[in-house]
Amino acid sequence: MDVKLQGINKSFGNVSILRDVDLVFPSRKFVTLLGPSGCGKTTLLRMIAGLEEITAGRILFGDREVNRDAPRDRNIAMVFQSYALYPQMTVRRNLGYGLRVRKTPAPEINSAVERVARILEIDHLLDRKPAQLSGGQRQRVALGRAMVRKPDIFLMDEPLSNLDAKLRVIMRGELRRFHLDLNATTVYVTHDQLEAMTMSDLIAVMHKGRVQQFGTPEDVYSRPANLFVAGFIGSPPMNFLDGEIDHGRFRIGEATLSLPPLIGGAAAGREAVIGVRPQDLSIVASAGPDALAGTVSLVELLGSEKLVEVQLSDRKRISVQVRAATQVGLGDKVHVGFSAPNIHVFDKRTEQSLLADAGIASGPGGSS
């Protein structure tokens, strides 16, 4: 079932939380609301669930407006960051509670509970009560309670935040597989870009109550719509350099770099910011037309890779990711090589992308 958000606004008094959100979450897709704390993503999820009233706009499930529908009438399942378990019930009864309320036959309840318990690796805990579980185990029970139902829409608010790193990796894969089995539209809230990139069909990147970009993980990573998205997505983070456009090249002091095709050719003298990911830079043997000179100020070993921090002559530092075998040390004089196809270009004033293919950056149903 599609979820359609049309002109959604939310205010608390004079404080605006969400502004002009227009999105369409296609049926049976896994969609993530991604952004830093306070960007409005959880508020938006709660409005979809019917737990928060909207100030203006419409929410539709398919062609049915649900603005005034109670949560119980929306056929949704939701997992919160908090556990919200019934302390007097065993894990088995917690998992099956929603199905019992709907008067599902006992054999179906038992089958669903046992299947989900195996997936979440809590089948040995079914006769315990929440007080006897660790925090991670409680969160898995909370996930399982929503998973045993067959909702039209599955809503999750940072459900993996209380799990340890190893279990989070396992659960990302399990949640994705469960989404495919459930055949429901899933809306997932997180501030963790790795969760968003590995699990999602579509990502809505949010900042200060607005959707900055809506598209596939590849879209938001490879074609960021603006400076915020470029800086928020990617690890290690993107490097940024200020300068100006000069006849198809980018001028930084006395040096210039080749640029990819820009919108309308982008007039000479226009102030801009370029962004380049550390993985897209290289350490080159000598100076050239697309290289900047600098001094190595830090080297971090990341396993099979090294992250090399280079101090440029204008006091700007940039990071370059190279193979661990690359011979480079503190104080070395190096040249950092740039490749035009890997450079992102943004207007310094508007912070919007100036790349010629930026028209596809917002993706399906996007807004910026």
Question: What mean pLDDT do residues 97-110 have?
Answer: 91
Q: For domain 3-227, which architecture applies? A: 3-Layer(aba) Sandwich (3.40)
> CA–CA separation, 252 vs 269, rounded Å?
12
Quote the tokens at residue 155.
């809503």
**pLDDT tens track for 176-192:** 887 887 788 999 999 99
Buried b (16+ CB within 10 A) or exposed e, 78-99: bbbbebebeeeebbbbbbbbbb
At position 316, the amino acid (one-letter code) is K
pLDDT band at 358 (very low <50, low <70, confident <90, very high): low
Residue 340 has pLDDT above 60, yes or no: yes
- What is the pLDDT averaged over residues 349-359? 83
Distance between CA 281 and CA 263 in Å, rounded?
24
Q: Which of 63-72, 168-177, 199-208, 337-346 has the lowest mean pLDDT?
A: 168-177
Q: What are phi and psi of 49, to 5 degrees?
A: -75, -15
What ranges do the domains of the chain cover? 3-227, 237-356
Give the class (CATH, top level) of 237-356. mainly beta
Identify the weakest region by mean pLDDT among 89-98, 162-171, 243-252, 324-333.
162-171
DSSP element (H, E) containing 15 = strand 15-25
Residue 264, by phi and psi: left (phi above 0), alpha (psi -120 to 50) or beta? left
Task: Say what percent of the chain tops pLDDT 70.
Answer: 96
Q: Is 66 helix (H, G, I), strand (E, B) or coil?
A: coil
Tens-digit pLDDT profile for residues 105-118: 999 999 999 988 98
Token representation of residue 56: 């203006």
Helix (H, G, I), strand (E, B) or coil at 233: coil
Q: For residue 2, what pLDDT is reported?
A: 95
Question: In the prediction, which pLDDT does 364 show?
Answer: 37
- Which residue do the tokens 């456009």 mark? 245
Q: Distance between CA 346 and CA 272 in Å, rounded?
A: 6
C-alpha to C-alpha distance for 11 and 29, rounded to whole angstroms: 29
**What is the C-alpha to C-alpha distance for residues 205 and 191, in angstroms, rounded to an integer?**
10
Given a cut of 70, is residue 84 above it in pLDDT?
yes
Distances (CA, A) of 249 to 143, 239, 363: 52, 18, 28
User: Is the pLDDT assigned to residue 160 strictly greater than 90?
Assistant: no
Confidence band (pLDDT; 50, 70, 90) for 368?
very low
pTM of the model: 0.88
Residue matched to tokens 């603006």: 226
